[in-house]
Each structure stands twice: as structure tokens, then as C-alpha cells.
Amino acid sequence: MASVHTVTEATSAPSWDPYERGCPSRDLLDRIGDKWSILVLGELGRHGTSRFTQLRKQLAGVSEKMLTQTLRALERDGLVVRTVYPEVPVRVEYSLTPLGVTLRGPLKALTDWSLEHTTDVLAAREEYDARAVRTG
């Protein structure tokens, strides 16, 4: 999966044309397709708002680094908003932007599908692997 963007070279203009060939802009699909984005978006969609540490626990397994990167990327894409409360110690809350909310539907369709068809896929894998063993 591609680039959780190495930021540093703020390429203002993308070199691809989102309209060419009706192509669904790999760039955007990559973002939601990366390792944690869907999960983060899902959590914020369900929870409404979460703090950094809270998210870390909910996503069980994500490292601080990855969570930060994912959150930053989502923020940059206008899907998530980061609010800092200058208390002591500082409190930071994340939630979906209106644009992020429009992604909830499509995302839910996807996670619903995965929940619904997990057993099918697992079965298919077992059969495939079994056949592979027999075939050599």
C-alpha cells in the first residue's frame, strides 16, 4: 500500500488527473486503504470524539507512531479535525469533519460486508490452501 505520504516534499499539485478514464483516483483509495485509516475513521464514526490515548486502546495494536501518522494524514485530507485544549496536561480531541462524516456510509457498507462474509472468505482460503497442498 502506498504512501502515508512522507510529507516533506509538499507536492502542491498531484501529477495524476482524477478525471482521466473515470479512474477512481488511487490516491484517495490508498488513504482509506492504508493499515489504520479505516479503523480510525470507524472509531470516530461510532464514538463521535476520541482522545489520542483512548484511540490507542480502542485500536489495540497500533503504535504511537502509526496512530499519529494516520491521524495527521486524515487531518490533512480534511476528514478528521484535531482540537487542542491548552490545559495542563494538554488534552487533544479528534473527531470527524463534515466531509469525514460523508465517508461513514461507504465505510460502513464495507465493514458490514467484511463482518458478514468473514466465514465465506475463511472457508475459501482453507479450500484453496488444501487444494494447494494436494496439488503440491
Determine if 98 is a binding residue for DNA (CB under 7 A).
Answer: no
Determine if 114 is a binding residue for a copy of itself (CB under 8 A).
Answer: yes
Residue 71 binding partner per list a copy of itself, DNA, none, with a CB distance cut-off of 5 to 8 Å that depends on partner kind = DNA
Q: Cα–Cα distance between 133 and 71 in angstroms, integer?
A: 42
Residue 12 binding partner per list DNA, a copy of itself, none, with a CB distance cut-off of 5 to 8 Å that depends on partner kind = a copy of itself
What distance lies between CA 2 and its chain's CA centroid? 13
The one-letter amino acid code at 8 reads T
Determine if 47 is a binding residue for DNA (CB under 7 A).
Answer: no
For residue 5, count other CB atoms closer than 10 A to its CB. 17
Is 59 or 103 the residue whose CB approaches DNA more closely?
59
Residue 102 binding partner per list a copy of itself, DNA, none, with a CB distance cut-off of 5 to 8 Å that depends on partner kind = a copy of itself
Treating both helix axes as pointing N-terminal to C-terminal, what angle do 104-135 and 37-47 enclose, rounded to 10 degrees?
A: 140
Determine if 136 is a binding residue for a copy of itself (CB under 8 A).
Answer: no
Q: Do residues 38 and 100 touch, judged by C-beta distance below 8 A?
A: no
Q: Cα–Cα distance between 8 and 24 in angstroms, integer?
A: 25
Query: CB 112 → DNA: shortest distance, Å?
Result: 23
Q: Which of 84, 80, 76 is nearest to 99 (CA)?
A: 80
Query: Under the rule (CB under 8 A), what is the footprint of a copy of itself?
Result: 1-2, 10-12, 14, 18, 21-22, 24-26, 28-30, 32-35, 38-39, 42, 60, 75-79, 99, 102-103, 105-107, 109-115, 117-118, 120-129, 132-133
